[in-house]
Amino acid sequence: MNNLPLEVDSLVQEFIRDWHKAFEMNEPAIIEDRLHEEVRFFSPALYKPKKGKKEVSSLLALAYETLRNYRVTDTWIKGHEVIFEFSAEVDGGAFTVQGVDRLTLDHQGKIIELKVWIRPFTGLKAVSQSILQKILRDYSVAQKFLFWIQVKWNQLKELLGFARL
């Protein structure tokens, strides 16, 4: 079901077509071309938003690898803001997640902000773990060890109430 207004800006219509095409063809480069250089990406799995086309496009590529059978179940449009409600599978169908992608486009149809919500929590954990494994697959043993130390250090700071150090 789509809740599309009667008159939709042509840039928004073109963006929606590209979004669907990217998932149908499993081609994240289609969306990468739509990212603004200063795009901000808000994820339920991240404490702070990711910023910049390079960082956001690499995370989106990992999400494409992780989410299977991504299907938009509803769409809302308000000006240059597009909201997709979706469902997808994670871990070979072990988890089905539902979520919302909220995208804000600039006057050229480029994504300047992307916010994602995913439920249920177990599905979010599965998505996060899968993406983390994909990030770490190319790390050396030493890099993985340093990453582990950083994670443990951050956990200790949070436990002690020094999360902002």
User: Which CATH number do you get for residue 88?
Assistant: 3.10.450.50
- Does residue 161 carry a pLDDT above 80? no
SS3 119: strand
Domain interval for residue 96: 2-137
Q: Which has the higher per-residue pLDDT, 22 or 157?
A: 22
Per-residue pLDDT band for 87 (boundaries 50, 70, 90) equals very high
Q: Average of pLDDT values for 122-133?
A: 88
- Does residue 1 carry a pLDDT above 60? no
Beta strands 68-78 and 81-90, pairing class: antiparallel
Dump the DSSP string for 131-159.
Answer: HHHHHHTTS-HHHHHHHHHHHHHHHHHHH
Residue 16 maps to a domain: yes
Mean pLDDT estimate for the chain: 87
Q: In whole angstroms, what is the distance from residue 13 CA to residue 89 CA?
A: 26
Residue 152 maps to a domain: no
Nearest alpha carbon to residue 46 among 127, 101, 112, 110: 127
Residue 91 maps to a domain: yes
Beta strands 35-42 and 111-119, pairing class: parallel
100-122 pLDDT, tens digit per residue, is 999 999 999 999 999 999 999 99
| pLDDT score at 7 | 61
Residue 153 maps to a domain: no
Tokens at 108, concatenated = 């050229």
Strands, sheet with 35-42, edge to edge from the N-terminal-most edge strand: 2-3, 68-78, 81-90, 95-105, 111-119, 35-42, 50-51
The half-sphere exposure of 148 on its side-chain side, counting CA atoms within 13 A, is 8
Cis status of the peptide bond prior to 49, with omega within 30 of 0 = no
Residue 32 maps to a domain: yes
Residue 158 maps to a domain: no
46-72 pLDDT, tens digit per residue, is 888 999 999 999 888 888 888 999 999
Q: Average of pLDDT values for 3-20?
A: 80
Residue 94 maps to a domain: yes
Q: What is the pTM of this model?
A: 0.77
136-145 pLDDT, tens digit per residue, is 777 777 777 7
Which of 19-28, 81-90, 123-132, 136-145 has the highest mean predicted lDDT (pLDDT)? Answer: 81-90
Q: How many domains does the chain have?
A: 1
Amino acid identity for residue 23 in this structure:
F
Residue 160 maps to a domain: no
